[in-house]
Structure formats: structure tokens, C-alpha cells
Structure 1
Amino acid sequence: IYDIGDDRLRLKVSKWCKKAGLRRLQKSVFVGFVRQTDIDELVKKVSPLLPTPDRFSVFALDPADYQVMLDSGVLLPEHLRTKHFTLFDF
């Protein structure tokens, strides 16, 4: 999840997230199964470039947590649904 004011930096971070294997869930929200080393590399690239008060946050979920993640509203896109993901529709 990020909140970045500069358009160029926001685009760059978006590309880096995709390159790390993450998929876009919303404009500034990405989700996916990636290696810890890929996340570490991504954080190492992004962190030094962020001016205050911009943010870049990573929330790691183990597969069991991901499996029971709730999503209300619009269904997740097909490419984000996996055998590890159970969707609870309200």
C-alpha cells in the first residue's frame, strides 16, 4: 500500500511492485505471493526516495491469513483468486 504525491515516483513504485510479482488490487494497493527477498529489495529501492509525509507500507500475511482475508463489495479480480484464497461475499 502506498500514498505517494509525486506522479513520477508513484508510477515508478507501481512498476517496481509489478516487477516484484505483485498484482494491483486498487490504484495504490498490491497483493500477491512473493519471496521475502523480493519484498526486501522493493523496500530498499522505495524507502530512500520517499519524501515526508509519503508512505510505503508492506503487510505480510501467511497463507492461512490470506486464505481467510475478507473482501466486501466488488469481487476480487479472477487473477487474484487462488486455491489459497477463500472469498466471503456479504
Structure 2
Amino acid sequence: MDYDILHGIVIEESEALSLSELCQICNVEVEWIMALVNEGIFEPAGTRPEDWFFSGVALRRVLVVRHLQRDLDVNLSGAALVLELLEERNALLAKINLY
């Protein structure tokens, strides 16, 4: 029986990723990330795209949006709404689990 060995890196929510690193990790184009920023899906640190840095939260959001678009053909506005609802749901579930 053959096994594939996978290697990965754990990226913390507080870790900063450059625009090129984010694109490489998610296998997406710079223009698509810029469209996500313009849609308000996340906000990079830095003033110009060359200086942008993204958190691990942005990485997670990129992956969710990519899946929403690929699997459900959701546009960016719809993806932004879905992300907001998912995060609200997760916050409510976290509050319930505290009690």
C-alpha cells in the first residue's frame, strides 16, 4: 500500500502574509485578491498593494470564498454575505458553548 506524504505549515490567525504569499498559498491571481479587498471581504494592512499584508483570518476567508465560487457559483457580493452569516453563526455557537 502506497502512502502520500504531505507537508504543511500551520498559519496562525495573527501571522502576516504578503500579497504574493497569499496568492501562492491559495493558488489565485493578484487581481482576484484585489477584487476581494474592493468588495470588503477583508482589509489588508498597508496602503498600496505592494505593501499589503494579510492575516490568517484573511487566508481562511479567501479559501471559503474560493470554495463558494467554485462549488456554488456564488458572486463576490454573495460570498461576502455568506462569510458574514457564517461568522455570526460561529460567534453565536461559541456563546452557547460557554454556558
TM-score in same-fold range (> 0.5): no
Which structure features the higher share of strand residues?
1
TM-score, length basis structure 2: 0.25
Which structure features the higher share of helix residues?
2
Structure with max Cα Rg: 2
